[in-house]
Structure 1
Amino acid sequence: MTDQPLVTVVVPVYNAEAHLEQCVNSITGQTYRNIELVLVDDGSSDGSPALCDHLVLAQRNAQVIHQSNQGVAVARNAGLRSAHGGYVMFVDSDDWLEHDAIATAVEQSERNRLDLYVMGYRRVLEHGEGTDPELIEVIGDDVLHTIDDARSERCQNELCSLDAAGFLYSCWGKLFRREWVGDVRFREGDSYGEDSIFVMDCLKHGGRVQVGSLPFYDYREQATGLVRGFRASKPDDIAVLHERLLSFYDRSVLNAGNLAFQQRRCAEDVLWAMDTAFGAKSNVTLAQRLEFLTRLSNVPSRGFCLKGAKKAASSRELKVLFLLNSKVLWKAYLKRRLRNA
């Protein structure tokens, strides 16, 4: 229907051969039809490039962008540059949408003049072959949030409450009005927290936001995912994310619960990253792991993180080591963990 606003769906693709077809079919099979599909192959080394080309052959309004491997932020930015829709959304290549996802998002966005519609979502936790996935629904209440001054006490606490409920940390599962996004782009070079920063940058100047009450987005979580893996650059990514978080949220106006959430969230970023040092591949040396832990333990946001460490979801040992921040103790702990692995 030509009177429907065009929705551009951007899918960054990297070695996603196993799940890409399910993802794309869930987009092209939407009850809403006026969709532009942009697949961005980020230098995949498996069968994803050919599969991308095959999947768009029969689609009226679809394209594939092939680029050298530059990371998910660059891939999403490439998709944004190619977008023609009045609305844009991002779908990760191993996730999928329910049939009425886009129809509902557009209907609500048009009716309520929204800048951002946040879908309820379903976390699909995969624990390994032969076991059924664990399903966790995260849904809102369809309330309209008018963020007329993002720095005001009311708006700061509304946004932080949405953040704490799990609705602002990702770019997926959201319908963005493209004019509202404007020239905001993903921070290139980061592989952790870049989508949180993107959403915060969009919200800086306010907007009309609604969180849906039905789980229309299915988010697949696997033990080998990017967030859980060891990467030497992660301390730098976390430092940037925390700097942006602590500048976006005014701690002087957050209520006690929201402030505690941000402290715990930042602590968990650091502690969960620390845990990846013990499961890194065997070619990562002891010295490299020790340097990684030391950098994490000394992130610029350390003081803020320590305030939330006690209630963070992590082991008591890691919390104590983070507090003591001794290179000697980190080395001894590393050797013990690796010896018992």
Structure 2
Amino acid sequence: MKEPKISIIVPIYKVEAYLDLCLQSILNQTLKDIEVILVDDESPDNCPRICDEYAKKDSRIKVIHKKNEGLGLARNSGIKEAHGKYISFIDSDDYIDECTYSELLEEADSKQLDAIYFAYERFFPNGNTSGHCNINNFEYFTDSLEIRRFLLDMIGTSPNEKKDRKIQVSSCCALYKKEIIDNYKILFHSERELISEDLIFNIDFLYHAKHIAITPKTFYHYRINQQSLTRIVRFDRIEKNKILYLYLKNKLKEINLGEEANLRNIRLFIGYSRFAIRQVCKSNISLIQKKRWLSKICQDYIWKEIAQQYPYKKLPLKYKLFFYLTFKQHINLLFLLARL
């Protein structure tokens, strides 16, 4: 049987209301030579049935039903069953443009790319959208130094940059050559153990890549669920950020990316933690709970350690102030700044 050009892996969990839109956007691709691997991560709604019904209608679809282990391990189940020359990942509440794979495949094949990255657009329940791309031109990266620069910009930015990251990190916004994934046994970590599993996957992949590209063109449409953002209070997020920071510190040293990489890693930790602090401070929990939590996280040794090795005074003003108030444990001022 002829192998498909692209294997599209879709982890599925509690997305009954959105699954049709996602699957229709895949099946309506102008490129027909694809396989679609739907990974039902023990979804408790009607998603398992919907997946099976789609598989009956289209022979390109394969369904995997597995016990619930989270997004990263669901993707791994799909990777192990994939037969395409390239692999793509789509989250099951998002969708893609019809021309996505025909355009990406043409570029990847003609230039013999190991991966091609692209932009995405956020869309909101009220119909509003916002683009997300910090790259203005199509770029190729054809040697180890150029790919190192690309990877550094994906991890984080230099202290004086206004944005925390120049290149988006989502594995859903890339087409990967499966040969590299297979040869080097590249898989996702569980996001329940290490957050930002997409970043770790990309680091592992790019370490072995020889020729990649990035286009500013938007193919992917990412759903923003504002209700879940305001309802969920993640008190453990700073601790998880710290675990990721320490893991990356060792990994980046292991692959010899140098001190600059660790500075980018620290910028990543600062940015992720600032976001976590803002989410808690803007949540619906009581003021006492918020300030008690802020007091606890500000006492963590990690802030003093970072202040000693990171030039935080070079950060943009509001980011510098945010870090300073955290490091110096000015709880009330930090809370006011986070609420702004």
Q: TM-score, normalised by structure 2?
A: 0.78
Higher helix fraction: Structure 1 or Structure 2?
2
Question: Does 2:196 match 1:193?
Answer: yes
Task: Find the aligned partners of 2:62 and 2:322 in 1 and give their Cα distance.
Answer: 46
Give structure 2 stretches of 5+ with no counterpart.
158-164
Instruction: Tell me how far 1:136 sits from its aligned partner.
Output: 4.5
What residue is the counterpart of 1:269 in the other structure? Answer: 272
Task: Find the aligned partners of 1:143 and 1:315 in 2 and give their Cα distance.
Answer: 30
Give structure 1 stretches of 5+ with no counterpart.
none
What residue is the counterpart of 1:47 in the other structure? Answer: 46
Aligned pairs for 1:154-173 within 5 A: 154-161=146-153, 166-173=166-173
What residue is the counterpart of 1:16 in the other structure? Answer: 15
Query: Match for 2:137 among 130, 138, 141?
Result: 141
Question: Does 2:55 match 1:56?
Answer: yes
Do the aligned partners of residues 33 and 69 (structure 1) sit closer, same or farther apart at CA in structure 2, a change above 3 Å counting?
same
The amino acid that maps onto 2:58 is: Q
Task: Find the aligned partners of 2:300 and 2:53 in 1 and give their Cα distance.
Answer: 43
**Relative to structure 2, which stretch is displaced further, 174-183 or 312-321?**
312-321
**Relative to structure 2, which stretch is displaced further, 71-80 or 260-269?**
260-269
Residue 11 of structure 2 contacts residue 39 of structure 2 at CA under 8 Å; is this kept in 1? yes
Task: Find the aligned partners of 1:108 and 1:304 in 2 and give their Cα distance.
Answer: 45
Instruction: Tell me how far 1:11 sits from its aligned partner.
Output: 0.8
Q: Secondary structure at the match of 2:39?
A: strand
Question: Does 2:207 match 1:204?
Answer: yes
Residue 274 of structure 1 contacts residue 296 of structure 1 at CA under 8 Å; is this kept in 2? no
Q: Secondary structure at the match of 2:57?
A: coil
Task: Find the aligned partners of 2:319 and 2:171 in 1 and give their Cα distance.
Answer: 29
The root-mean-square deviation of aligned C-alpha atoms, in Å, is 3.8
Do the aligned partners of residues 17 and 138 (structure 1) sit closer, same or farther apart at CA in structure 2, a change above 3 Å counting?
farther
What residue is the counterpart of 1:322 in the other structure? Answer: 326
Query: Match for 1:293 among 285, 292, 297?
Result: 297
Instruction: Percent identity, please.
Output: 23
1:281-315 Cα deviation digits (max 9, x unpaired): 759x9398458735877379744896448746968
Q: Secondary structure at the match of 1:272?
A: helix
The amino acid that maps onto 1:38 is: I
Residue 73 of structure 1 contacts residue 191 of structure 1 at CA under 8 Å; is this kept in 2? no
Instruction: Tell me how far 1:98 sits from its aligned partner.
Output: 0.8
Instruction: Tell me how far 1:96 sits from its aligned partner.
Output: 1.1
1:103-149 Cα deviation digits (max 9, x unpaired): 11111111111111112x232242x54x53334455553322113x3
Do the aligned partners of residues 69 and 194 (structure 1) sit closer, same or farther apart at CA in structure 2, a change above 3 Å counting?
same
Q: TM-score, normalised by structure 1?
A: 0.78
